[in-house]
Amino acid sequence: MLIAGNWKMYKGPAETAEFCLRLREEELEGVDVVLCPPFVSLAVAVQLLAGTEIAVAAQNVHWENEGAFTGEISAPMLRELGVYGAIVGHSERRQYFGDTDEAVAKRAAAALDAGLFVIACVGETEEERDGNRTEDVLRRQLSVLEPDDNLVLAYEPVWAIGTGKTATPEIAQEAHAFVKSQIDAPVLYGGSVKPDNAAELLAQPDVDGALVGGASLELDSFTAICRTAIPS
């Protein structure tokens, strides 16, 4: 089981340092844990989690190694920092910053080529689900991605991100099974994962972990979700 905490635009270096020092003290053996802080907090997270099994990943990555791309960060830069992986294609990147399926594919390929692991996000909007287009959307988003040993997928129904709505375990399982029919890769569930719904979601046969948003910002709720994923 893999539990990744996506901090989005929260926690600068000082707050990140405090969180990581406390996280180091937690007993989380048996679950793979990844923290995804903002770019400015990556270095301190890498430094303070060195020597632990907890990985640090970026929330995005550019597809070129270098160049005139103001505001962007490349995979080699992340590698030099000691970062282990990157998220690509998060619904907020697609919604607010215009990331297309093709851009997501280029980001994923560049990160994988550089030796990073990738969490590639896919998922439908409420309108698309209501129109019975979920599988069409997932098929399109997945069609541009190539299978890779370092590729992990995250199914995040856009209607369940930051809304408090969560896909039922049955909806999550159905979507995950479909995703796996398209690409052979582990699939995380993302969308308002909390300590009180994590166990039921993670118990589904095709759910291989969680991409946690808001609940990853507090140490107690994040570690509670991580412990739910530890095999009994």
Token digits of residue 188: 């995380």
- The residues that bridge with 154 in the sheet, in sequence order, are 121, 188
CB-count burial class (<10 Å; 0-12, 13-18, 19+) for 63? buried
Nearest to 231 by CA among 26, 32, 22, 24: 32
Q: Which residues belong to the active site?
A: 90, 156
Looking at residue 161, its pLDDT comes to: 77
Which pLDDT tens digits describe the chain residue by residue (232 residues)?
A: 999 999 999 999 999 999 999 999 999 999 999 999 999 999 999 999 999 999 999 999 999 999 999 999 999 999 999 999 999 999 999 999 999 999 999 999 999 999 999 999 999 998 999 999 999 999 999 999 999 999 999 999 998 877 777 789 999 999 999 999 999 999 999 988 999 999 999 999 999 999 999 999 999 999 999 999 998 7
Looking at residue 192, its pLDDT comes to: 87
Q: Where are the beta strands (DSSP E) in 89-194?
A: 117-122, 151-155, 187-190
Looking at residue 207, its pLDDT comes to: 97
Domain limits of the chain?
Answer: 2-228
CATH second-level architecture of 2-228?
Answer: Alpha-Beta Barrel (3.20)
Looking at residue 114, its pLDDT comes to: 97
> Cα 83–74–88 angle (5° rounding)?
75
Q: Do the beta carbons of residue 156 and residue 123 sit within 8 Å?
A: yes
pTM recorded for the entire structure: 0.96
Cite the DSSP H helix spans in 145-218. Answer: 169-182, 195-202
- Which residues, other chains included, contact 46 with Cβ-Cβ below 8 Å and sequence gap of 6+? 56, 81, 82, 83
